[in-house]
Amino acid sequence: MRDKLETLALVLGFMGLFGTITITALPMWRVSAFIGANLVVMEDLWEGLWMNCWRQANVRMQCKVYDSLLILPSELQAARALMCVSVVLVVIALLITGCGTRRFTCCGDNIRSKNVTLALGGCLYLLSFLTTIIPVSWVDLTVISNFYNPLVHEGRKRELGSALFIGWATGGVLLITGIIILISYSKHRAKDEDPYYTGAALGSLRKPSTEGSAYLKRTPSSAHKHHEYV
């Protein structure tokens, strides 16, 4: 059962890594907004963490990398930093989790070291979940609040991009991965490290070994036989 949980955690971990890299690279964090049936701006506009893209009617999409980080709003600046941290955390969590599984021999046969390594990998997955869901939720809240704010000019209003939806799904995958790893760790820690939880040890405690011992038959003494006759 533990091998299946560890394999599932590794598969989900690779999915989480692919998701974090995808949403970090996608330019569709904020897209052109529609008010009713009318487009607010006269072109398709995408805004991401590294570049913005635009396309007018009958014109091919063009993208440009930001000239400076300072031209980005505060939520996108924080999102860029946190998403880079998230990618690094998922990579480290994958490596540590792989070393803590039974299929790998990174820690040798030391079960305690494998359990500690596995628990550390699960904690890193939970931390990467936070560094992924925080920037996605922050940008989402800013886009929605600006969209319904009458003080914001219509040309500056945006809608939620597909990168945000992928970010929520990726955050859920990372959260599930961390929970699976920690459940696997908690279920098998006592069984692997404490000999009193093993069936062999319980059997030895209940039934003492008789190997190497000899049965001595009790014989009555001569005095006992004399008392019987009397």
Helix pair angle (74-100, 2-25), 10° resolution? 150
Mean pLDDT value of segment 24-43: 71
Say which CATH number the domain at 18 has: 1.20.140.150
**Is 50 within the bounds of a domain?**
no
Burial class (CB in 10 A: 0-12, 13-18, 19+), 209: exposed
Q: Quick check: is 172 in a domain?
A: yes
Most confident range (mean pLDDT) of 6-10, 109-113, 127-131 is 127-131
What's the pLDDT tens digit per position in 61-108? Answer: 788 898 888 888 888 999 999 999 999 999 999 988 877 666 666 655
Q: What is the pLDDT of residue 196?
A: 47
Is 145 part of a structural domain of the chain? yes
The continuous run of DSSP H or E covering 81 comes out as helix 74-100
Q: Give me the chain's average pLDDT, please.
A: 77
117 and 192 in contact (C-beta within 8 Å)? no
Find the helix packing angle between 162-193 and 111-147, rounded to 10°.
160
Q: Look at residue 217 in the predicted model and tell me its pLDDT.
A: 52
Sheet holding 158-160, edge to edge: 62-65, 51-55, 44-47, 30-32, 158-160
Domain assignment of residue 52, yes or no? no
pTM (predicted TM-score): 0.74
Q: Does residue 37 fall inside a structural domain? A: no
What is the predicted pLDDT for the residue at 156?
77
Q: What is the domain extent for residue 171?
A: 2-26+69-191
CB atoms within 10 A of CB 14: 14
Q: Is residue 147's pLDDT more than 80? A: yes
Is 205 domain-assigned?
A: no
- 34 near 40, Cβ under 8 Å? yes
Return all residues near 14 (Cβ < 8 A) that are at least 6 apart: 94
pLDDT for position 38: 53
What's the count of helices (H) and strands (E) in the chain, helices before strands?
6, 7
Integer Cα distance of 81 and 49 in angstroms: 9
Query: 12-16, 57-61, 190-194, 211-215 — which one is most confidently predicted on average?
Result: 12-16
Does residue 160 belong to any structural domain of this protein?
Answer: yes
Domain count, the chain: 1
Residue 54 lies in a domain: no
Residue 140 confidence class, pLDDT cut points 50, 70, 90: very high
